[in-house]
Amino acid sequence: MKENRISYKRLFIFLLIAVPLSNIFRFDVFGTKARLEELPAWVYLPLTAVLEGSGVLTGALLALYLLRRQRRTQISFGGTSPGKALLMALVPVLLLSFTGVRNGYDLQPNLYGFMAVSVSLLYCIMEEYGWRGYLQEELRALKPLYRYPLIGLIWYLWHLSFLVETSLSENLFFLGMLIFGSWGIGQVTGSTRSVLAGACFHLIIQLLMFNSLIKDGIDTSLKLTLLGISVAVWLIILNTGRKKIKAPENRV
């Protein structure tokens, strides 16, 4: 259908904002990190997350505004069941707040656990507005067989990981993970129509692979246990009243 056609102009605008603006802060181009670290941790940590996610969120909001002038979008923050999405988000926040996370900021572990997982989830929400909130909607006309690898590739290119000293095998593994993540999170977002629900599963990837706030502050076995509990509870939440929620796409 004509209204579902992909606009490469919108996609270009999204990338033009998302890639440079986020990576200015992710790669600390202007040396702002040292100055921000002088702030109290409860200010520094969320501010850093907002700055690093600012490009993808800003690009997504502008691209979504342009997209909605052409057609109605299906994905929103809360989706078909905002209560379920919020409940999903509370699960890892409560778990890590209860267990606590060791840190180098001299913060009480339980307080830091709450802060670290909340900041991480905020960052995931900002990213998800780009990859699922906008990009998955923009590419809706494509079959999943092509859509998810394309989203994963763009997600990979946005990170600019190939510019740092990493091997070819590491980059290929990273690309593969993001393509798989695009499919998995895309299925969740397609089912719930919720950016927040997608961000919860994005958080799993964050905590397993990249997250510097929690990486060394909790034992690996405990982290895996907490993440496993989170996923199990999320699946129960998602399957409750499933008939009221549109199932994920399965055409290829």
What string of DSSP letters covers the chain? Answer: -GGG---HHHHHHHHHHHHHHHHHHHTTTT-HHHHHTTS-HHHHHHHHHHHHHHHHHHHHHHHHHHHHTTS----BSSTT-HHHHHHHHHHHHHHHHHH----SS---HHHHHHHHHHHHHHHHHHHHIIIIIIIIHHTTTS-HHHHHHHHHHHHHHHHTGGGSS--HHHHHHHHHHHHHHHHHHHHHHHHH-BHHHHHHHHHHHIIIII-TTTTTTS-HHHHHHHHHHHHHHHHHHHHTTGGGSPPPP---
Is residue 61 within 8 Å of 126, Cβ to Cβ?
no
Q: What pLDDT sits at residue 247?
A: 45
* Residue 153, domain member (yes or no): yes
pLDDT tens per residue across span 28-42: 999 998 899 999 999
Q: Kindly indicate the confidence band of residue 3, based on its pLDDT and cuts at 50, 70 and 90.
A: low
pLDDT tens per residue across span 4-26: 789 999 999 999 999 999 999 99
Q: Kindly indicate the confidence band of residue 252, based on its pLDDT and cuts at 50, 70 and 90.
A: very low
* Residue 249, domain member (yes or no): no
* Residue 143, domain member (yes or no): yes
* Residue 129, domain member (yes or no): yes
* Residue 251, domain member (yes or no): no
Range of the domain at 198: 2-244
Q: Kindly indicate the confidence band of residue 240, based on its pLDDT and cuts at 50, 70 and 90.
A: confident
* Residue 180, domain member (yes or no): yes
165 pLDDT exceeds 90? no
The tally of domains found in the chain comes to 1
* Residue 155, domain member (yes or no): yes
Q: Kindly indicate the confidence band of residue 211, based on its pLDDT and cuts at 50, 70 and 90.
A: confident
Q: Which residue has the higher pLDDT, 102 or 240?
A: 102
141 pLDDT exceeds 60? yes
Dist. CA 134–CA 132, nearest whole Å: 6
